[in-house]
Chains A and B, each alone.
Chain A
Amino acid sequence: MINGNLKATYAADERVLNNSYKQAFVYGTMLALAFFAAFANEYMILIACKMGILLIAVVGVNILTGYTGLVSLGHGAFVALGAYTVTMLDNGLTGIIPNQFMFFVVVPIAIAVTALIGVLVGLPSLRVKGLYLAVATLAANFIVIFLIEQDAFAPWTGGVVGIDTPDANLLGWVLDTNREMFILISVVAFTSLLAAQNLIRTRVGRAFIAIRDRDYSAEILGISLLRYKLTSFALSAAYCGLAGAMFAFFYSRILPEQFELDLSLELVAALIVGGMGRTMGPVFGVMVIVMMPEVIKVFAAYFTGGDAASARYISPLQEIAFGLLLVFFLLKEPLGINHITDRILRAANRWPFARG
């Protein structure tokens, strides 16, 4: 039933959690995460960290693709840039900057670098739209991976064999276990989500949505397409850079092949499944995309009885399931899981009256 919806001030009406359902959901989730950090087993923590890292990146892709309407298939490159910038800076600055401050120096620099490269990659968006832009951004992914793999840069990047990454050190607190990293990642992911939500309820985010919905109409309202399209690229790249930084701190070693086209596609797929242009879309999408291989593993183990020879079918099976999932959502639920939850919430709101 509708309750908690009476607003007496504009401030109350403009709040993010403007009804009791949302408040219950968010505070409940925070509580659940706290319990999770304390009691979940190592494997669950690992899966949750994967989700968190991917979530930060997908929130970034959502800003660009979901809100501004510009499709990018190259955002894996920004995750790579974030991860490698953090790692290389950490190696280069050891001894110059005290270890306990390193995190607060390298992460902002990594974000700034990816944002800058994001602007460069975004330049074609001023001329081309839709599929053509997607293909143009695709190039970014290949170029970045190509450069990382070059032997000439191998002393810094590690080349094709990858490079060992540092542990995060927050003012002396070394996060060398997954459980500690989970705390950091969930705080960063939550903040990212909140920041994205803040963005779209203010001037800048509204301009993004205006460009997505009708670009000439946006221009007539005084929105410079050049400026806002590039801002959107910079922001989404920055989010992916932040995700990359978390990636580097979480894993003990990074390889260039982890950031190839697969990752870029995974980011877009998670967004499509979750729901484009909605705050919670990335959250639902990431959960499904990360959980799906795990579910398939469990099923495969059940049906084959843990037969070692059948394990080789799991990987292609995962890819088939991935494709089927995307096709299903594009055909049946193009607005993603968020649209399903919207319908459920609306029905709950009207209960006991007709659903409508």
Chain B
Amino acid sequence: MLKIEDLHLSFGGIKALQGISFEAKPGEITGVIGPNGAGKTSLFNAISGFYKPDRGKVYFEGRDITDLSPDKRAELGLARTFQNIALFRGMTVLDNIKLGGHTRLKTNVWQALRYFGKAQKEELELRRDIEERVIDFLEIDHIRKYPITMLPYGLQKRVELGRALAMQPKVLMLDEPVAGMNREETADMARFILDVQEQFGTTILLVEHDMHMVMDICSHIVVLNFGQQIASGTPAEVSGNEDVIEAYLGAAA
């Protein structure tokens, strides 16, 4: 579904990514873990098109997307969330989520100015789809008219997931979806992620520091350290890997 091949990325002398290769299999949850500064977010930015890799390819459904701009990748069905919430703060929850449907809508400027007719029909269809498929699903119907700034952190994270879901993505990339959340909120979010996988069959790529959650929900894990891929495999394989233990805990004395 999403295939990374020998990805290299550097900022000046800093080699952020050195030869990352893995594949996110259709309908599965793939986790990317690693200590701080390992290159997880750089990897995400390279996949979503913000960084241009020095070398290597990104394939989406077998198609080479390495040279596409972020908005073109979004049109293909690649959605993501950000580590520091990147919602539109001047808008309501509903409008934020509606923006997820942007690429599916066809209204042009002229139709938008008149509204009645095609634009209205499309807007109402979008509204219905969002209400039934996203807002109801994520249990955020009570806050749909709230401005983003009024929401607590955990809910903002959920709204950002909602915005990504509104895109009806084929691949969903989540950058630390439970960072800074308490145990209850983490459990909620983990349940939502599993529900997304189960109900929509979405392929999910996940960066996360919460090891319990990663080990619980991922079927495949890639471990990065200092820009290098030090291990990959099932949760059981990875957690027994000596390199991984060393990267996280340091070498045994």
Q: What residues make up the interface of A, taking CB atoms closer than 8 Å to B?
A: 10-11, 13-14, 195, 198-199, 201-207, 209-210, 212-214, 216-225, 231, 235, 277
Contacts and interface: CB of A to CB of B under 8 A. Distances in A.
Contacts of B70: 216, 219-220
B74 A201 contact: no
Interface in B51-107: 69-72, 74-75, 79-80, 82, 86-91, 95, 98-100, 102-103, 105, 107
A240 to B, nearest CB: 15
17 contacts: A10-B124, A14-B123, A14-B124, A198-B119, A199-B113, A202-B107, A205-B112, A207-B99, A209-B90, A213-B90, A216-B50, A221-B71, A221-B103, A222-B71, A223-B71, A224-B71, A277-B90
Contact of A219 (B71, B100, B114): B71
Interface string B105-138: 1011101111100011011100110010000000
B69 A219 contact: yes
B77 to A, nearest CB: 10
B48 interface: yes
Most buried by A among B69, B89, B90: B90
A223 B71 CA distance: 6
Nearest to A234: B109
Interface residues of B, number: 43
B164 to A, nearest CB: 9
A199 B112 CA distance: 5
Given A206-B95, A213-B90, A219-B71, A10 B115 contact: no
Given A203-B105, A214-B86, A220-B70, A198 B95 contact: no
A264 B194 CA distance: 54
A217 B89 CA distance: 11
Contact of B123 (A201, A209, A210, A221): A201
Interface of A is mostly: helix
B133 to A, nearest CB: 14
A9 to B, nearest CB: 9
Given A207-B99, A207-B102, A214-B86, A14 B127 contact: yes
Interface of B: 48-50, 69-72, 74-75, 79-80, 82, 86-91, 95, 98-100, 102-103, 105, 107-109, 111-115, 119-120, 122-124, 127-128, 131, 163, 167
Nearest to B78: A220
B109 A222 contact: no
Given A206-B98, A222-B74, A235-B109, A201 B115 contact: yes
B82 A222 contact: no
Contacts of B48: 220
Q: Most chain-A CB neighbours within 10 Å: which of B69, B70, B91?
A: B70
A206 B99 CA distance: 7
Contacts of A219: 49, 69-71, 74
B86 A216 contact: yes
B103 A217 contact: no
B149 to A, nearest CB: 11
Nearest to B115: A198
Contacts of A206: 91, 95, 98-99, 102
Instruction: List the 10 shortest-distance A-B pairs measured between CB atoms, nearest first.
Output: A222-B74, A222-B103, A198-B115, A213-B88, A217-B86, A219-B70, A202-B112, A195-B113, A204-B112, A203-B105
Contact of B88 (A11, A202, A214, A224): A214
A221 B112 CA distance: 19
Nearest to B74: A222
A298 B71 CA distance: 56
A13 B47 CA distance: 38
Nearest to A217: B86
A221 B163 contact: yes
B74 A198 contact: no
Contact of A195 (B69, B88, B99, B114): B114
B124 A212 contact: no
